[in-house]
Structure 1
Amino acid sequence: MPEGPGPLRVVVLVSGSGTNLQSLIDAVHAPGEAEIVLVVSSAPGVRALERAERAGIPTAVVALAGRERAERDRELAEVVAAAEPGLVVLAGWMSILTGAFLDRFPDRVINLHPSLLPAFPGLHAIRQALEWGVRYTGVTVHFAEEVVDGGPPIVQEPVPVLYGDDERTLTERIREVEHRLVPDAVRLFAAGRVRRDPTDRRKVQILPVEVE
């Protein structure tokens, strides 16, 4: 990871429409708090690539089809490493990453999940919250590991489940939180305030703001 002055260099991995990418472009990239230096998609032609191109951000596509996941991840790691990121953000990246990628960027890959982990990992988290009848679900930004949605949380925020909610209404409120929480997490990294315990890897400390 390159060190020195200047904004945090961020690579964003996407697979779909890119609404969380757009929140990062608007909230941290455009103001210069962090610099999105590359957007990589798991598929061509997705709207997220259009959002990146409109913002003048370089793009790439690294697809899985027709090859083993580890082979794809080795290529992905090379593409991402060439951008010299300080942080890699999975913003709707709908594909499991192996150690072939994650080991290249230790403690520098974060993921977004629409629940308060460890509740409802994997796909259909919002549907499961409704089926369980929980009063609160939420949003988690966590370190990415080879276990699906298994890395320790960095930031979390609850979202109430209201009587009469369906998947559409609950998803809308969760996305509002996602669009705020992901930029917040990037700001914490940019400020050097995220510290993962070297001995107890489940513990993440958010350092206080230094007062000059």
Structure 2
Amino acid sequence: LDLIKSRTEGLKKVKVYWESYSDYSAAGGGTGWNEIILIAGGENVFGNESGYLKVDAEKIIAKNPDVFIKSVSSSVFQPYRANNSKIAEFYEKLISRPEINQTAAGKNGRVYAVCMEMLHSTFGLIAETAYVAKLLHPEEFSALEPHELHRKYIESLGMEFSGVWIYPELQAERENKNERLAPGFEAILAMLAVAIILALRKEKT
């Protein structure tokens, strides 16, 4: 997280609207999602209000976010299944909301759904923050491959990493899922893997 934060310092902040599971439920200041936005180099458009707040279409349009992120449960995402039809259908309904198409996020195709079940621990948080950093600053984090961080986390739990956890998938994620990680981040993954193993051993003792 410190690496991501250090690389986003000095960058132009990207305005983000993060919506909770319920429509028009915005994540405000003091929430975990607000912290992810800040670390990833974003500005929460509702960050000046605390907790989760009910907003409406007019408020979203007025805030004009650059990126729209929607939290979605695994019952919709079904990340461990090969068929993405359910999340694809959900996404089409999401982007059909009139107010979204009146924001920079909608006009520029920067609307994303994120499966929240990846956040089971600190390591899940690292993976999600990496995804969001790449969503907000794709050029700055062109060499970062969040799915590799996420895969290490899932496999550390003894599960197979598969399926889609963010929709639409990032272009680089689609192209490089089976390719070797960029050299600059191999050391990060190695340290992450060691940290995961040590943490799991500690939990068992």
- TM-score of Structure 1 vs Structure 2, range by shorter chain: 0.3 to 0.5
Give the TM-score normalised by structure 1: 0.36
Structure in which a larger fraction of residues adopt helix? 2
Give the TM-score normalised by structure 2: 0.37
